[in-house]
Amino acid sequence: MVEKGTARNFVSQVLPDRPLDSGSSRGGICASLAQTTLTRVCARLNDGDLLTAVKLDGKAAAAELKEDLRARVARLTAMGRTPGLGTILVGEDPGSLKYVEGKHRDCSQVGIRSIRVDLPADAGKDRILAAVDQLNQDPDCTGYIVQLPLPDGVDPTEIIERIDPAKDADGMHPYNLGQLVLHADGRVRTPLPCTPRGVLYLLDHYGIDLAGKEVCVLGRGLTVGRTIGLLLTNRGVDATVTLCHTRTKDIDAHLRRADVIIAAVGQAGLVGPDQVRQGTVLVDVGVSRIWDQQEKRWRIKGDIDPAARLSAAAYTPNPGGVGPMTRAMLLANVVDSAERAAGIPVRDTPEAPRRQ
């Protein structure tokens, strides 16, 4: 049996300047996370094991979210308003085909209707726009995506702008992004970008309080980097965000100052253990396919070197962290849109309802 207070001292070392008491005037990165870690330390010290960071399990959080979505879909179905997810796929790119099939499998798990529009690889702009108009007008479709990439010569921006913003399952229509910018109070009532929404949901699921914390975002892509900063700085989340990119000077200094690092670059092992200070929360969004010469197969690698977890308070595995949340949030956007169409009040930003 460990000596009284030993576990707390271990947690204090891993979570420096982050008090365990939720009532502390300084506030902790996460009082409940610290308590979870404390419990794990007590259990592991008794076995003679070393302390490990808390894994932010995206699969588990997504499964719980799907249970909630299943109940909401059942309610809508009883009203005769079953939500429907549509997909427009042009051609037979293996990666795109696998992605779309995965979306429809997800639909079947929660009772959402699947609506597929598959076009040949030589489909031109007019035919793709006609498919978009078809789903815009289809009352059974409450949200849909146009799978990218599109054939050469077809401007994806023009296609995306044709989507009805109310049915924008990806949350990337210019109107919806504009609503996200305008509503800094957090009361966004339009579809949100799936990956940023999933990251915030996952952190909130594990009780990680971001108010006043330094968040360093790596990558300025529209899908994650630029949009996640808008969600993080919404009132009710209240993080302080630094966005780093290829021209940022002294990125190491920004990383070492951060309470939370969100890496969304797509460069395997970009963030190493020497760039992470003790007690940081690591969110690994980037995905790279790396050839394993020894096993003769491709492996998925994230932007954050797994060795960095030794200094972390918590981390997302990759795969199994942010990916499942992105997929679940696509379903959430579809259900949200169906509820709006049915006149059912939809929560504001679902990631921080208790802090507003």
Q: What pLDDT, in 10s, does the model give residues 221-267?
A: 999 999 999 999 999 899 999 999 999 999 999 999 999 999 999 99
Q: Is residue 114 classed as helix, strand or coil in its secondary structure?
A: strand
Q: How far apart are CA 287 and CA 265, in angstroms?
A: 8
pLDDT, residue 34, reads 52
5 has pLDDT over 60 = no
Fold agreement (83-169, 178-328): yes
Q: What is the DSSP letter of 148?
A: S
162 SS3 class: helix
Correct CATH for 178-328 of 3.20.20.70, 3.50.50.60, 3.40.50.720, 3.40.50.620:
3.40.50.720
In degrees and rounded to multiples of 5, residue 355 shows phi and psi of: -105, 5
Residues sharing a CB contact under 8 Å with residue 346, sequence separation 6 or more, in sequence order: 189, 336, 339, 340
State residue 295's pLDDT score.
86
pTM here? 0.84
Strand bridging mode 288-292 / 297-301:
antiparallel
| Domain boundaries of the chain, sorted by first residue | 6-52, 83-169, 178-328
User: Which two tokens mark 355?
Assistant: 């802090």
On whether the CB atoms of residues 218 and 263 are closer than 8 A, the answer is: yes
Q: Is the pLDDT of residue 321 over 90?
A: yes
- Fold for 83-169, please state it: Rossmann fold (3.40.50)
The DSSP result for 199-249, as a single string, is: HHHHHHHTT---TT-EEEEE---TTTHHHHHHHHTSTTT--EEEEE-TT-S
Residue 201 tokens read as 């949901």
pLDDT tens for 10-66 read 333 333 333 333 333 334 444 455 555 444 443 333 444 344 789 999 999 999 999
Distance (Å, whole) CA 270 – CA 124: 39
